[in-house]
Structure 1
Amino acid sequence: MRNLSASVYNAPARVFHWLTAALLLLQYLLAWTMPDVHRDTKPIGLIAWHLGVGMVIILLVVLRLLWRSTHDVPPEPGTVPPVLRIVARFTHWLLYILLLAVPLMGWANASSRGWPVTLFAFMPMPPLSPAGSSIGHALGDWHRNIAWVLLALVALHVGAALFHRFVLRDGTLERMFPARRNPASSKR
């Protein structure tokens, strides 16, 4: 395969990507295993963890967007068809939007229930909606529904990466998995 070093994402971008993926996986596991939320539910145990991980995801995505705004994104391999480039850009930005929107809706819902929301379990965050807010409660339903849309979009993203790797074989996936250089071959 050709040298892709010019189109490989830098280390911080890769760390942001994979840390986001890991936290998102954890968040879905928490959501599927935590108890159902009802009127008298308390934010303890898995629910508290779900709230905390959501806050970390917000922070991570904001930091990732700040990093991206101050650093160049490597060019896509020249073999990627223009229509796929457009779809990829749209999908990536929609992922960013949903990665922020879903936890923000959850935060607003938690606020409407009067639940404390903290970052890293010790930094209290301000409420996004007043306690008892009907909008905050409605955002809880949206939170759940849009989380399914986010999951479908992540599946599309993974499927597209595999399509690039095994069908197009265009080096797109390798941008997130740079090959280590063989020290013996670099001495020549």
Structure 2
Amino acid sequence: MVKQYESRAPAYGIVARTLHWLTVLLIAAQFVIGWTMPGVHKDTQPVGLIAWHLGVGAALIAVMVLRVVWRLTHRPAPDEALPPLLGVVSGITHFLLYICLLLVPLLGWINASSRGWTVRLAGVVPYPSLSRTGSPFGHAMGDVHGILAWVLFSLIVLHVIAALFHHFVLKDHVLQRMLPNAGSSRDSTHNR
């Protein structure tokens, strides 16, 4: 039998919730595009789904920079009722999610630069090149990008399972704290 506890931490603030769900939408779009776009080869041009993949990746980088800045300047309220082991596992999982959410698009950007492609935010604002055209390092980062995308996918699955475990097994309010309709009276600057 799983011991129940009652979460006493306040709901995440509107900014944290908005950035979280925007990240979810971008990642979902990115995985769908990534799985359906044609393979990238030596002479591939950044058009069609590949252009969309670059654009969504650029947006994801921008959102993740905002999330990291927000997280560093708005410390989350700890859930003191959370059992210590769950707190450690949660902290490690969130840390790894942030690392992968930053690294995967960054490595894709490096790879795009090595192909001579320009990554643009909203199709307008160009990001600087992170590797020279033809760079073997930049090309290799494309392979690492693909591998880490699967690691990120696995972490997301773990994250979703944990949220559902909290909701259906522990029957606490951890999941509700991040839902868009979380009570404004309990809002804080909580962000992960």
TM-score (ref. length: structure 2): 0.88
TM-score (ref. length: structure 1): 0.90
Gaps of 5+ in 2: 186-192
- Note the C-alpha offset of 1:116: 1.4
2:23 pairs with 1:20: yes
- Note the C-alpha offset of 1:117: 1.2
Higher relative CO (CA 8 A, sep ≥ 6), structure 1 or 2?
2
Moved over 2 A (4+): 2-6
Q: How many angstroms apart in 1 are the aligned matches of 2:128 and 2:98?
A: 22
Gaps of 5+ in 1: 182-188
Contact 1:108/1:127, CA 8 A, preserved across alignment: yes
Match for residue 106 of structure 2 among 104, 107, 112 = 104
Q: Report what 2:151 is aligned to.
A: 149
Match for residue 71 of structure 1 among 70, 74, 83 = 74
Percentage of matched positions with identical amino acids? 54
AA partner of residue 26 (structure 2): L
Root-mean-square deviation over aligned CA pairs: 1.8
Q: Report what 1:136 is aligned to.
A: 138
AA partner of residue 175 (structure 1): R
Match for residue 123 of structure 1 among 122, 125, 138 = 125
Gap change, CA 1:81 and 1:72, over 3 Å in 2: same
SS in 2 for 1:7: coil
Q: How many residues matched?
A: 179
- Note the C-alpha offset of 1:114: 0.8
AA partner of residue 43 (structure 1): P
Gap change, CA 1:114 and 1:130, over 3 Å in 2: same
2:33 pairs with 1:39: no
Q: How many angstroms apart in 2 are the aligned matches of 1:5 and 1:12?
A: 20
Q: How many angstroms apart in 2 are the aligned matches of 1:117 and 1:6?
A: 39
Match for residue 86 of structure 1 among 85, 88, 98 = 88
Q: Deviations over 1:151-182 (max 9, x none)?
A: 0000000000000100111211111122588x
